[in-house]
């Protein structure tokens, strides 16, 4: 019997979910949309492997038991709350869906299937296929100005591409610096204690290696590109944590979109006298 089972969770990022997919006709896939739960070198993208059959069968069987159990509708999720969903699609296209939310107690059958999905995801995460990691660095260049370097590395076994700066317009790629006070107790933090600066081609001063004009940047396995920006960052005196958030599609070498991802850098301390 042909089937596809997909487990989706937005626990890391509402807009960039984690998805585990198992089917009767292909190797399991893991899609990680965001590394916000583990900023820094943790990769995002597509991961794939051929684990022992018992591993995928345990997930499939637990999901089938869930679908055969009595359905209990969970309370609707509020905006920003975590939603986890299990979907079984048959060869005819018929779908069975069960989901869990923060607002309801999770059924034991859902928890059992979810545990198998998470165990499979942990295994697949060790096998990046088309995956991207990144790191950022900040250097002062004058009063209220700094250089920002963002290095992106293809940590997978397959070539991938990302949009070229020539085509960043229209939201194709989004890069934001966040500056958040780290010398104020959490309970006293207010909106005025953080700043956001968007980076675009207007602040891009160079790349390593230099790029030829085009629509995409192709990265072979272990290939990398460094983006260099100079920007103003006016901040009141105090201590801060700085980090970048980069949103970009991951493309195949022909330019077809595989998925959209969010890369969050490690926080860097920053002192403003």
pLDDT band at 77 (very low <50, low <70, confident <90, very high): confident
Task: Give me the pLDDT at residue 1, please.
Answer: 61
Q: Is the dihedral of CA 108, 113, 114, 115 positive or negative?
A: positive
pLDDT at position 208 over 70: yes
Tell me the sheet residues that pair with 86.
7, 98
Task: Give the model's pLDDT for residue 2.
Answer: 78
Percent of the chain with pLDDT over 90: 83
What does the mean pLDDT of the chain come to?
94
Q: What is the pLDDT of residue 24?
A: 85
Instruction: Indicate if the pLDDT at residue 203 is higher than 70.
Output: yes
Domain 132-272 has CATH 3.90.1210: no
Q: Per CATH, is 3-124 categorized as 1.10.472.50?
A: no
The two domains 3-124 and 132-272 share their CATH topology (first three levels equal): no
pLDDT of 70 strictly over 90: no
Condensed to tens digits (0 to 9), the pLDDT of residues 216-271 reads 999 999 999 999 999 999 999 999 999 999 999 999 999 999 999 999 999 999 99
Instruction: Return left, alpha or beta for 156; rule: phi > 0 is left, psi -120 to 50 is alpha, else beta.
Output: beta
Please check whether residue 152 is in contact with residue 225, taking contact to mean a CB–CB distance below 8 angstroms: yes
Where exactly are the structural domains of the chain? 3-124, 132-272
Per-position DSSP letters for 72-107, written without gaps between them: -PPPPPPTT--EEEEEEEETT--EEEEEEETTSPPP
């Amino acid at each position: 019997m042909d089937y596809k089972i997909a487990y989706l969770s937005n626990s890391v990022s509402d807009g960039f979910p984690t998805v585990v997919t198992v089917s009767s006709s292909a190797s399991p896939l893991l899609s990680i949309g965001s590394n916000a739960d583990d900023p820094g070198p943790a990769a995002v993208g597509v991961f794939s492997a051929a684990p022992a059959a018992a591993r995928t069968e345990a997930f499939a069987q637990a999901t089938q038991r869930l679908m055969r159990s009595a359905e209990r509708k969970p309370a609707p999720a509020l905006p920003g709350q975590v939603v986890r969903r299990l979907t079984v699609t048959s060869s005819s296209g018929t779908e069975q869906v069960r989901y869990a939310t923060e607002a309801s107690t999770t059924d034991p059958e859902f928890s059992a299937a979810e545990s198998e999905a998470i165990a499979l995801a942990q295994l697949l995460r060790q096998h990046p296929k088309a995956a991207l990691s990144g790191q950022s660095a900040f250097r002062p260049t004058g009063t209220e100005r700094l250089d920002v370097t963002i290095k992106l590395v293809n940590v997978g076994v397959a070539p991938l591409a990302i949009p070229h700066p020539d085509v960043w317009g229209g939201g194709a790629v989004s890069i934001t610096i966040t500056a958040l006070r780290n010398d104020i107790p959490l309970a006293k933090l207010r909106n005025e204690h953080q700043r956001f600066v968007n980076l675009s081609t207007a602040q891009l001063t160079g790349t390593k290696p230099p790029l030829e004009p085009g629509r995409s940047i192709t990265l072979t396995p272990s290939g990398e590109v460094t983006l260099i920006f100079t920007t103003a960052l006016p901040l009141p005196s105090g201590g801060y944590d700085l980090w970048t958030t980069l949103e970009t599609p991951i493309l195949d070498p022909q330019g077809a979109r595989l998925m959209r991802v969010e890369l969050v850098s490690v926080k860097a301390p920053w002192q403003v006298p």
